[in-house]
Amino acid sequence: MEKTREVTTFQAATILISTMIGVGVLPLPLFAVRSGDTGAPFITVLGIGIGAIALIIITKLGLRHPNKTIISYSEDIIGKWLGKIFSLLVILFFLVLTALAAREFGAVVITAVLLETPLEVTVLVMLLLAAISARNTMNTFVYIHSFYIPIILAPVLIIVALSLKNANFLYLRPFIASDLKDSFNGALTVAALLQGSFLMTLIIPTMKNPKSAVKASLWAIFISGGLYVLIVAATVSIFGTEEIKKLYWPTLELARTTSLPGNILQRLDVVFISVWVIAVFTTIFASYFLTIQSLKEYFNLQDHKMLAYFLLPFIFTLAMVPQNILQLYDIILFIGKVGLIFTFFYPMVLYCWDLIRNKRGSKDESKQA
């Protein structure tokens, strides 16, 4: 079956943005403040820098093989068996990432909105929604992401704008964190939140004009990164670093402190979370879709539809593994950093290997000629 190439640059960028902005934004200021106090925005920028490098490597690598995804071209580069092993690990990683995102979201919902609803139900509803949507075709996947993008960006911008009147910019000084090692650690944590961008490897083969993939990546990282920095700066300037360390989801607290002018609604946090469901959905949907599409390619299947339901029990079970919210965040931080091996170092090694191999290949050819 021939693949249709319909994805535009704009659509590719929106997919990446809506994938990168997800449930991770809620604890983001906490992560940043923990490792850098007032240097939090700086650490965030650093993390985004790392994320951007990773994304660009993935994109460049994808561009060298514009008709394949990483699952198939990794076999071409490092050999069949090594490629298979690493692909499986990557797929497993995204399976876990999907589960953790769903669980984290469930934790937020039962703490902030639905106090009496069991965690299992909220997680299952979200996973079901993602599974049913993941049965769609690649084109629909793209349409869904570009459709929701304004709804994902708007609430954050509105909340930040409304809360600025309480901001105290002194909380942001000094800008640069003192401890280099801690800063780097924090930056890695932030970069781990951007791992959804790995999806680019799936998008490139469907792009109308693959050459503009780098442009799409840069725009995506610029917009979602900008949003990250904005959130961190706003929360820190409103709460101060010490207060943030006591909060699990500072971004949510930010929504709590704001109210609409005219007192139309007394509180905004519930509304914020409800709209936030969409952002979380797109993230989980993206990693779910990435997982089953990769699996489909891994096993050379014709159709990905059955896989969507097949994986559901596994993901759900994985999501239920963490005992409590403390353990959940330990796991999330750990998995996030481990994930960087797959989403950063693995593509980098592949890229270098591919470059060397090709150079040698072209030399051989020139010798023959």
Which one, 70 or 108, has the nearer CB to another protein? 108
Q: CB of 16: closest distance to another protein in angstroms?
A: 16
CB of 149 to another protein, least distance (A): 9
Token reading at 131:
């599974």
Pick 264 or 369: Cβ nearer another protein: 264
Query: 33 or 112: whose CB is closer to another protein?
Result: 112
Query: Minimum CB separation from another protein for residue 281, in Å?
Result: 6
Reduced 3-state DSSP string for the chain: CCCCCCECHHHHHHHHHHHHCCHHHCCHHHHHHHHHHHHHHHHHHHHHHHHHHHHHHHHHHHHHCCCCCHHHHHHHHHCHHHHHHHHHHHHHHHHHHHHHHHHHHHHHHHHHCCCCCCHHHHHHHHHHHHHHHHCCCHHHHHHHHHHHHHHHHHHHHHHHHHHHHHCCHHHHCCCCCCCHHHHHHHHHHHHHHCHHHHHHHHHHHHECCHHHHHHHHHHHHHHHHHHHHHHHHHHHHHHCHHHHCCCCCHHHHHHHHCCCCCCCCCCCHHHHHHHHHHHHHHHHHHHHHHHHHHHHHHCCCCCCHHHHHHHHHHHHHHHCCCCCHHHHHHHHHHHHHHHHHHHHHHHHHHHHHHHHHHHHHHHHHHHHC
Name residue, tokens 């090694």. Answer: 349
Task: State the nearest-atom distance from the C-beta of 23 to another protein, in Å.
Answer: 14
Tell the smallest beta-carbon distance from residue 265 to another protein (Å). 5
Q: Which is nearer to another protein, 52 or 142 (CB)?
A: 142
Give the residue from 2, 1, 9, 13 showing the smallest Cα distance to 226.
13
We find the least distance from the C-beta atom of residue 320 to another protein, in angstroms, to be 19
Q: In whole angstroms, how close is the CB of 3 to another protein at the nearest point?
A: 10
Binding region for another protein (CB under 8 A): 1-2, 4, 6, 8, 10-11, 109, 113-114, 117, 122, 125-126, 129, 132-133, 136-137, 139-140, 142-144, 146-148, 263-267, 270-271, 273-275, 277-278, 281
- Cβ atoms within 10 Å, residue 149: 21
Residue 144 vs 216, nearer CB to another protein: 144
State which residue, 34 or 145, has the beta carbon closest to another protein: 145
Comparing CB distances to another protein, the nearer of 77 and 277 is 277
CB of 269 to another protein, least distance (A): 9
Q: Measured from the CB of residue 113, what is the shortest distance to another protein in angstroms?
A: 6
Residue 329: name the closest of 109, 108, 122 by CA.
Answer: 108
Which of 144/350 has CB closer to another protein? 144
